[in-house]
Amino acid sequence: MEFKNNKPIFLQIAEHICDGILQGTYTEGERLPSVREYAAEVEVNANTIVRSYEWLSQKGIIFNKRGMGYFASQGAKETVRESLREAFFQETLPEFVGQMQKLGITVEEVEQAINTQS
Amino acid sequence: MVSIKNIKFGYRKHVTVLDEFSLDFSQSGIYGLLGKNGTGKSTLLYLMMGLLRPQKGEVTIDGISATLRRPEVLREMFLVPEEYDLPPISLSSYVKAIKPFYPRFSDELLGKCLANFDMEPNVNLGALSMGQKKKVYMSIALAANTRYLLMDEPTNGLDILSKSQFRKVVIEGMSEDKTIIISTHQVHDVELLLDHVCIIERNKVLLNEPLVEKDEPINLEELFIKTVENK
């Protein structure tokens, strides 16, 4: 896994797991890899994975079954989608609009470009 | 806990490498021991193993002097030096010979580590390249399941893929009661593995603290340069 240097690693890993949930790599109710397994897979300290899993638990995306590990929650996909949509409007879009204004690109131009893409 | 108290050490009479030097490794976890070339990182590891003796002061492992080289201490210690030779015998004979010294030696973990390194379990130690020798010996070191594992520049001589395998091996071989001390100047190879970082410069510990990331990933190279320049 490639990491960016503008965001904590534990958060990048949590977001990567969110992507996995959204894309169906982990289905609702499915067990996630153990902390050790996942740490070895992405080659980071196990405590970093503990932080990622705790962060996801707090958001209700995964939950801990004592002694059995972490599982994707019921409704995890919807929760992830909601929070990513929120992030799109709060972070991605303002940056995008800022670029448009800076470059003098109109909404019509963008619309046209999107239409030719799809 | 490994405790180094006020030690003095030099290889030749008037050249001291360490003087009035103190340092504690008080917690379990993975430590990165960083320092410029020639600051005595390897020397420290040898002193901890009791392979070198301080001229003054004392190194203790869980309260017992390392110099005594007592069996109950040594069976909890394993050192992977930067360079070493292995006897030209099969891996299984080698393991059979050293196993009695390490009560918690795990064949299962050995198999796992070798598999992670893409190494055959039935190799002859005399027929290995430098990199392969490292992989086999590091696998043995982790499988020995000692409470303290010291590694001197473990990623030297490993190619990019092997470095990635090395990280996986260390993570899988780590457990909560272990302390792994990795001396290195290849900070990028290990920075995401570390629980603690310890930066030394001649006779001084410039930094010894847990690594906890806040708003950004920890950039160990930057931390190292800042620490060394602001001393």
**pTM, full prediction:** 0.90
- Average pLDDT score over chain A: 93
* Domain extent listing, chain B: 28-38+70-229
pLDDT of residue B60: 97
| Mean pLDDT of all residues in A8-37 | 94
Task: Indicate the fold that domain B28-38+70-229 takes in CATH.
Answer: Rossmann fold (3.40.50)
Residue contact B194–A45, C-beta within 8 A: yes
Residue type, B217: P
Both A30 and A42 in one domain: the answer is yes
pLDDT of residue A8: 93
Residue A92 lies in a domain: yes
Residues of A in contact with B215 (CB under 8 A): 8
Q: How far apart are CA B29 and CA B14, in angstroms?
A: 36
Both A16 and A57 in one domain: the answer is yes
SS (HEC) of A22-49:
HCCCCCCCCECCCHHHHHHHHCCCHHHH
pLDDT of residue A1: 82
Instruction: Say how many CB pairs under 8 Å bridge A and B.
Output: 47
Least confident span in A54-58, A83-87, B105-109: A83-87
The C-alpha of B90 sits at a distance from chain A's nearest C-alpha, in angstroms, of: 28
Cα–Cα distance list, A32 to A5, A19, A35, A61, A63 (Å): 26, 13, 9, 12, 10
* Cα dihedral across residues B12, B13, B15, B16: positive or negative: positive
Both A21 and A70 in one domain: the answer is yes
Q: Could you say which of A3, A43, A47 has the minimum Cβ distance to residue B164?
A: A43
Residue A107 lies in a domain: yes
Residue A1 lies in a domain: no
Residue A2 lies in a domain: no
pLDDT of residue B1: 94
Residue contact A45–B168, C-beta within 8 A: no
**Tens digit of pLDDT per residue, chain B (231 long)?**
999 999 999 998 888 899 999 999 999 999 999 998 888 999 999 999 999 999 999 999 999 999 999 999 999 999 999 999 999 999 999 999 999 999 999 999 999 999 999 999 989 999 999 999 999 999 999 999 999 999 999 999 899 999 999 999 999 999 999 999 999 989 999 999 999 999 998 788 999 999 988 888 888 999 999 998 887
User: Could you tell me the CATH number of the domain that includes residue A43?
Assistant: 1.10.10.10
Tally of residues, chain B: 231
Both A91 and A71 in one domain: the answer is no
Both A33 and A21 in one domain: the answer is yes
Both A16 and A68 in one domain: the answer is yes
Both A45 and A98 in one domain: the answer is no
Residue B126 contacts by C-beta under 8 Å, 6 or more apart in sequence?
Answer: B86, B87, B88, B89
The C-alpha of B89 sits at a distance from chain A's nearest C-alpha, in angstroms, of: 31
Both A38 and A57 in one domain: the answer is yes
Both A58 and A88 in one domain: the answer is no
Best CA proximity match to B33, nearest among B192, B176, B207, B189: B207
pLDDT of residue B218: 87
* Cα dihedral across residues B200, B206, B211, B215: positive or negative: negative
Joined tokens for residue B193? 């593995």
Both A71 and A87 in one domain: the answer is no
Both A67 and A94 in one domain: the answer is no
Number of domains in chain A: 2
Q: What is the ipTM of this complex?
A: 0.87
Q: How far apart are CA B182 and CA B132, in angstroms?
A: 19
Range of the domain at A99: 77-117
| Mean pLDDT of all residues in A20-32 | 94
B115 touches chain A (CB under 8 A): no
Residue contact A5–B215, C-beta within 8 A: no
Q: How far apart are CA B58 and CA B67, in angstroms?
A: 8
Both A82 and A72 in one domain: the answer is no
Show the CA angle centred on residue B112, arms to residues B106 and B115, nearest 5°. 140
Joined tokens for residue B160? 């990019």
